[in-house]
Amino acid sequence: MNMPDPQAFAASWMTQFADPTLWQGWTSLPQAMPGMAPPAGGANPLAGILKDFGVGIAPAKLEAIRDDYLKKAGALWQDFISGKPAEFHDKRFSAAEWRDNPMSAFSAASYLLNSEFMLALADAVDAAPRERQKIRFTVQQVVDAMSPANFFATNPEAQKKLIETKGESLAKGLSNMLADIQKGRISQTDESAFVVGENVGTSSGQVVFENELFQLIQYTPATPTVKAVPLVMIPPCINKFYILDLQPENSLVRYVVEQGNTVFMVSWRNPDRTLGNTTWDDYVETGAIKAIEVVREITGQDKTHVFGFCVGGTIAATALAVLAARGQQPAASLSLLTTLLDFSDTGVLEVFVDEAQVAHREQSLAKGGLMPGRDLATTFSALRPNDLVWNYVQQNYLKGKEPPAFDLLYWNADSTNLPGPMFCWYLRNTYLENKLREPGALTVAGVPVDLGKIDAPVFLYGSKEDHIVPWEAAFASMALLNPKNAKANRYVLGASGHIAGVINPAAKNKRSHWVNDKGGKQRPKTAAAWMAGATEQKGSWWPEWAKFLAQNGGADVPAPSAAGNDKYQPTEAAPGRYVKARAD
């Protein structure tokens, strides 16, 4: 089955389901039920769409879903006509206005029932798991978009605001919408409240090297002595590095500096057209490998801790495998945060990757060009539309509110482009064909890649609620890395999601994390076995990582008195100019 692009498919469904009479399906409920009358001819509105894509629903499943829907819809209608308050639990409808108005309450309750019905149909489709996931994702997009909270005519909160402000909220909402149309994105925060280098990305340091692809920042030490082994941090190139250095109270950079480490950061350039032919090999060779080389030269150390976050971790591990193939082992340790090396389970991003979609990208970008940052941002917002899209439609446009200042959401909106050839190679060889985990299946920078040849203890981190890198998928790297000394490897699981789980400051003592220190023959081989023997610890996972770095960091030595050396002189203060370039 050849599924279309999910966003285009969603748009098609939106058109076909715009008529609220189609929501009921093929039932024969009373015509008087508002918004729930049966469609003409009694046809199932999903049938034609599913037929177009070569899938269907078994009659027995269809009948069971129909009967369940009829039962619940009938009970809802009876409660409504008898004056019984509707019961529902959804944060989109938690305000008193939804419950105080019987019609609004019925609107919300019937919408939730219809949503349940649509998703049940999607789950019942006779298709392979991957294709069923795509169908469900697409239906979920439509269901979320059709919420009565998203439209002024059916949102009692917005209507009340209009009356209270004598129309001012609507005028302001229209103004907000027009401003966002000009920007080409929905405003999620007060972007005027932040300036990179002034109140985000503020850790003290100097740029000590740059090439066409990245700048290397050396941070100012915060302790009189430091561990001999320096730390080079390789963030994702899909967004800006200062997620690791937002503000002093939630900066991972500041934390590891204060723990007595000499810290270097790769600040990727935001690609413009001059980098439109840059490849994955370039990011590995000219990026990560060059950064490791410069750090070793500046510090005079043979070994360095290597850190990678998300796709930065994939680049970092690939770079170390390339160096291993060349007979070099420069890593004292390897730390990977929410990183995929085995792409068997790619979470919800799987819906955007199949042969047709990758081939389409290759046709347009593989020979040069840019994957626009705004397209990447739209894709990630689509993974959590109620939180990252419709919430702001309701607040900013329908109610005329200004979004509050939030550093993480400012960073989220500060998107980056990606070079087309690099992006296409990454999609095909990792997400689609999953070759990185196979020894020798890929050649990068002229040598075969074997992750198992990296000789260094490994610290792996996953986030329990991560929808981009499922924590079990992050754990899968345990079987790929450092097999000769697997007992030195460590896995830690944090609470929350892909970003919030990582940025969990130790000083705030929030959330929790899980550890499992069983070793030897009892060492868990699977994520499920690991979790079964894990214990929950209150607070941040950061101290666990700091302890790992210290154990592999060598002796204490005097902190460097200045950044760089004779060969690599500081050129500008951190965070440097590369991180300030905007994709739009």
Condensed to tens digits (0 to 9), the pLDDT of residues 463-514 reads 999 999 999 999 999 999 999 888 899 999 999 999 999 999 999 988 999 9
Asked, for residue 167, whether it belongs to a domain, the answer is: no
DSSP per residue, 342-372: S-S--GGGGGG-SHHHHHHHHHHHTTS-EE-
pLDDT, position 565: 97
Percent of the chain at pLDDT exceeding 70:
90
| Residue carrying structure tokens 């689509």 | 382
pLDDT, position 38: 34
Closest by CA position to 490, among listed 364, 336, 386: 336
Condensed to tens digits (0 to 9), the pLDDT of residues 273-293 reads 999 999 999 999 999 999 999
Question: CB under 8 Å to 345, separation ≥6 — which residues?
Answer: 470, 472, 473, 476
Roughly how many angstroms between the first and final C-alpha of the chain, as a whole number?
36
Which domain does 88 fall in, by range? 6-151
DSSP per residue, 408-477: HHHHHHSB--EEHHHHHHHIIIIIIT--TTSTTS-EETTEE--GGG--S-EEEEEETT-SSS-HHHHHGG
Domain identity same for 320 and 442: yes
> Quick one: 116 exposed, middle or buried, by C-beta within 10 A (0-12, 13-18, 19+)?
middle
Model confidence at 376, pLDDT cuts 50, 70, 90, reads: confident
Condensed to tens digits (0 to 9), the pLDDT of residues 138-172 reads 889 989 999 999 999 999 999 999 999 999 999 99
Of 211-220, 238-247, 347-356, 387-396, minimum mean pLDDT range: 347-356
DSSP single-letter state for residue 511: S
Domain identity same for 426 and 527: yes
Condensed to tens digits (0 to 9), the pLDDT of residues 379-388 reads 888 888 999 8
Domain identity same for 441 and 297: yes
Asked, for residue 21, whether it belongs to a domain, the answer is: yes
pLDDT at residue 71 above 70? yes
Condensed to tens digits (0 to 9), the pLDDT of residues 237-275 reads 999 999 999 999 999 999 999 999 999 999 999 999 999
Model confidence at 134, pLDDT cuts 50, 70, 90, reads: confident
More confident residue, 27 or 287: 287
Condensed to tens digits (0 to 9), the pLDDT of residues 295-324 reads 999 999 999 999 999 999 999 999 999 999
Domain identity same for 108 and 248: no
Q: List active site positions.
A: 310
Question: With a threshold of 0.85, does the pTM exceed it?
Answer: yes
Domain identity same for 120 and 221: no
**Which run of H or of E encompasses 227?**
strand 225-227
Question: CB under 8 Å to 371, separation ≥6 — which residues?
Answer: 361, 365, 417, 418, 419, 420, 423
Asked, for residue 329, whether it belongs to a domain, the answer is: yes
Give the chain's domain count: 2
Domain identity same for 487 and 576: yes
Condensed to tens digits (0 to 9), the pLDDT of residues 170-182 reads 999 999 999 999 8
Percent of the chain at pLDDT exceeding 90:
75
Out of 151, 166, 191, a domain closes at: 151
Of 4-13, 29-38, 114-123, minimum mean pLDDT range: 29-38
Greatest Cα pair distance, the chain, in angstroms, is 84
Domain identity same for 253 and 120: no
Domain identity same for 229 and 293: yes
Asked, for residue 487, whether it belongs to a domain, the answer is: yes
pLDDT, position 53: 54
Mean pLDDT (the chain) is: 89
Asked, for residue 522, whether it belongs to a domain, the answer is: yes
pLDDT, position 29: 32
Model confidence at 45, pLDDT cuts 50, 70, 90, reads: very low
pLDDT, position 239: 93
Conformational region of residue 240, where left means phi above 0, alpha means psi within -120 to 50, and beta covers everything else: beta
CA gap 187, 392 in Å, rounded: 7
Virtual CA dihedral for 15, 17, 350, 426, nearest 10 degrees?
10
Asked, for residue 370, whether it belongs to a domain, the answer is: no
Q: What is the CATH number of the domain that holds 551?
A: 3.40.50.1820
Compute the average pLDDT of residues 343-353: 90
Compute the average pLDDT of residues 350-359: 90
pLDDT, position 51: 60
Out of 117, 136, 151, a domain closes at: 151
Model confidence at 198, pLDDT cuts 50, 70, 90, reads: very high
Out of 85, 118, 151, a domain closes at: 151
More confident residue, 40 or 575: 575
Model confidence at 94, pLDDT cuts 50, 70, 90, reads: very high
Model confidence at 47, pLDDT cuts 50, 70, 90, reads: low
CA distances for 6 relative to 3, 57, 158, 506, angstroms: 8, 20, 30, 39
Closest by CA position to 69, among listed 108, 23, 15: 23
More confident residue, 16 or 479: 479
pLDDT at residue 6 above 90? no
Domain identity same for 453 and 539: yes
pLDDT, position 437: 97
Domain identity same for 32 and 98: yes
Of 49-53, 132-136, 505-509, 556-560, minimum mean pLDDT range: 49-53
Domain identity same for 450 and 317: yes
pLDDT, position 9: 38
Asked, for residue 257, whether it belongs to a domain, the answer is: yes
Domain identity same for 109 and 240: no
Asked, for residue 415, whether it belongs to a domain, the answer is: no
More confident residue, 42 or 512: 512
More confident residue, 330 or 53: 330
